[in-house]
Amino acid sequence: MRNSRTARRTALVAPCAALLIAGCVLQPGASAAALSDPSAAPPPSPTATATAGTSSAPTPSPLNPIDPAAFQSAVQRAAEKMTVPGAVVLLRTPQGTFRALVGTTELGTSTPPTTGDHFRIASNTKTMTAALITLLAQDGRLRLSDPVSAYVAGVPNGDRITIAQLLKMRSGLYNYTNAPELSASLDADPGKARTPQEMLDIAFKRPPNFAPDASYEYSNTNYVLLGLVAEKAGGRPLTEQFRDRLFAPLGLKGTSLPAVDDTSLPDPYAHGYMYGGTAYALIDQPYPADVQAAARSGKLQPVDYTHQNPSYAHAAGGAVSTPDELATWIRALVTGKVLNASFQQQWRGSPQAEDPAAPDGQKYGYGIAYQRFGPNSAMYYHGGELPGFNSFIGHDPDNDVTLVIWTNLTLSPEGRTTAQALLPTVLNQIYAGLSLPTGTG
């Protein structure tokens, strides 16, 4: 999934391909402490007091006032330009809750999407797998410094790869979703159940790409391994632990990790589409010019991937949820409703720069990405991509902003990951003074 176009996106999923788009960069004036430590408090606002002969004005809010009609219109224009069948943007701010709903949940119908529709959330599942692993560490059932070999046998360099390195994508293990035989198999038999061990067998046929902790590389292999670690340490199937430890305490009745042989989606649900074969999502294979032209003209219709079996993703990207419940989930995770205070501090402080040459750029930690994009604005976030669906979830604790974006077309005809491509449009609506280039009209 991550290859030479890593900065653009990741299949199954990417943290965000593009919150951290070119142009969405840290603004001058961000405090050094906040830039170097994601858990640091935002810089204080200027003191709103007055002394003799002086006065001070209140600090302007970093948030724009949201105009619901303008919000809907901006999202609709951008989504339609990418030929997205359906899209949902759910925004919660101190001003209230705002929804932009576009198109249909199924081609050939006029069923509008809602924030209660179920869809495959892809790699946003990683936020859940990482939270469960951290809960098991909190319980004393594992240590984040443990080698993965203590839980799973046969891992290359397994005695030197720690649980924390798996969480932060720093193991060096080959990403099994890059293997061409996987996408070929998925196209040949899309309903087949595939086990985590089968995915690891694909990965372990290839040598590691680098030594443990020598670098960062987004790899779904890390999170398939973490799913097995959680089952060993927790003593129960991952599906049950997700339900009992994560979803039930937050009242997330519409969120689940399906069994490996379950290709259904709960009602109501959205269909998911993509032009062409699975490889276009899994290994970032670009669309040929003739495919792009046929898709733009309408001569080529997208394939319905709704019921392709996502068991190959499982702990790395197999969960199902709704926009409403994802908003509840990401806010609860970031604000400390899932972990205790000590482990919450570790979790929030875990993001590490993906590129050492850009220490203030995108960071990845325990199943979460992070970037500060203004002196009083930062977001913990993740993205999700697999054939049929694209999504983004994020929470800005500085300003109590929660954002969920969902689309039911993985890639536009030009090959853009559609939910992430909507991000600049949405962020320009939310934050004052960003003026990000949208490229989507």
The CATH number of whichever domain residue 249 belongs to comes to 3.40.710.10
Q: Which pLDDT score, from 0 to 100, does residue 57 have?
A: 63
Please indicate, yes or no, if residue 441 is contained in any of the structural domains: no
Decide if 220 contacts 316 (C-beta within 8 A). Answer: yes
What's residue 285's pLDDT? Answer: 82
The verdict on residue 32 lying in a domain is: no
Q: For residue 28, is it within any domain? A: no
pLDDT, residue 433, reads 83
Q: Are strands 303-304 and 320-321 parallel, antiparallel or unpaired?
A: unpaired
Tokens representing 198? 């089968």
Residue 216 lies in a domain: yes
**Number of domains forming the structure of the chain:** 1
**What are the backbone angles phi and psi of residue 34, rounded to the nearest 5°?**
-70, -35
**pLDDT by position in tens, the chain (length 441):** 333 333 333 333 344 443 443 333 322 222 222 222 223 333 333 222 233 344 456 677 899 999 999 999 999 999 999 999 999 999 999 999 999 999 999 999 999 999 999 999 999 999 999 999 999 999 999 999 999 999 999 999 999 999 999 999 999 999 999 999 999 999 999 999 999 999 999 999 999 999 999 999 999 999 999 999 999 999 999 999 999 999 999 999 999 999 999 999 999 999 999 999 999 999 888 899 999 999 999 999 999 999 999 999 999 999 999 999 999 999 999 999 999 999 999 999 999 999 999 998 999 999 999 998 777 889 999 999 999 999 999 999 999 999 999 999 999 999 999 999 999 999 999 999 887 777 654
Containing domain of residue 308, as a range? 63-430
User: What was the pLDDT predicted at 10?
Assistant: 36
Structure confidence at residue 49 (pLDDT): 29
